[in-house]
Amino acid sequence: MDSGGVVDNFGWGWPDSEVEAVAVQEGLRGRVRAATPEGFRPRTATGLDVHYTDVLTAAVCTVDLETLELVDSAIFQGPESFPYVPGLFAFRELPLLLRALDKLTTPPEVLVCDGQGLAHPRRFGLACHAGVLTGIPALGVGKNALGDFDQPGPRRGNWSALTDDGEVVGRALRTQDNVKPVFVSVGHLMDLDTATDLVLTLTPRYRLPETTRQADHLARS
């Protein structure tokens, strides 16, 4: 099962059992780079989301970081190929998301994933997986977290550490005053400060990033 396009699966491919899936994560986790490349100045950000009906609809939307307006988008539909298992989320959504990314006219500069990156039991959530396979900088924004955190301050921009087994794996970030925080973590080729800044840029008005909102709309239309 090939994902096509520029994706490099590093010989791991797609598993069809939970045991194999965990092995893939263990095999790829060492490829994650949590440093922002020199001169990283993205002009756009691409959001990824999947909607569930009889089939899965993967949608990807690229927005201009200056205006937050949609500049490119694509969808790809397909059947469910892996069950939902917490911690193995990427195997369910990523095959379709990669195909959707291939349909974009302009190459993505940053992937904004709907879920976790390093804030994952094996430090290899969806955002890490997407980043490593594509080689594109990536970050994760989850609506819920797996780790432990103290409530951040009440104002937009306030944040607190998200930890797991005593390790800092991300941040609980308040994107709007007095609104439940989102959970930001590094996916690939990016540090946590950069990821946090990007998420704040993408949330001038709403709790969730504009990329995620656009992709969500497209996926359910």
Q: Which residues are annotated as a binding site for Mg(2+)?
A: 49, 114
Answer yes or no: are the C-beta atoms of 151 and 172 closer than 8 Å: yes
Smallest distance from DNA to CB 39, Å: 29
According to CB under 7 A, which one of 146, 161, 168, 200 is a site residue for DNA?
146
Q: Residue 88, interface with DNA (CB under 7 A)?
A: yes
Q: Helix and strand tally (H, E) in the chain?
A: 5, 9
Report if residue 84 touches DNA, rule: CB under 7 A: yes
Closer of 18 and 64 to DNA (Cβ):
18
Is residue 145 at the binding interface for DNA, with CB under 7 A as the rule? yes
* CB of residue 138 to DNA, shortest distance in Å: 11
Binding positions for DNA, 96-125, rule CB under 7 A: 114-116, 120, 125
- By beta-carbon proximity to DNA, the closer residue of 43 and 84 is 84
Please enumerate in sequence order all residues whose Cβ is within 8 A of that of 120, keeping only pairs 6 or more positions apart, or say none: 87, 128, 146, 169, 185
Q: Is 51 in the site for DNA (CB under 7 A)?
A: yes
Nearest CA among 64, 72, 60 for reference residue 45: 64
Q: Is 213 helix (H, G, I), strand (E, B) or coil?
A: helix
140 binds DNA (CB under 7 A): yes
Question: Cα separation of 201 and 193, whole Å?
Answer: 12
Q: Which of 49, 101, 112, 170 binds DNA (CB under 7 A)?
A: 49
Q: What's the CA gap between 132 and 10, in Å, rounded?
A: 9
Q: Choose which of 13, 43, 52, 153 interacts with DNA (CB under 7 A).
A: 52
User: Contact 186/34 with Cβ under 8 angstroms?
Assistant: yes
**Interface with DNA, residue 170, by CB under 7 A:** no
Shortest reach from residue 162's CB to DNA, in Å: 11
Which one of 36-44, 58-66, 88-96, 101-109 is the stretch in contact with DNA (CB under 7 A)?
A: 88-96
> Residue 171 carries which DSSP code?
E
Strand order in the sheet with 182-188: 70-78, 56-64, 44-52, 111-114, 138-142, 182-188, 167-173, 159-164, 148-149
Q: Which of 126, 162, 172, 199 binds DNA (CB under 7 A)?
A: 126
Contacts to DNA by CB under 7 A:
49-53, 84, 86-90, 114-116, 120, 125-127, 140, 142-146, 220
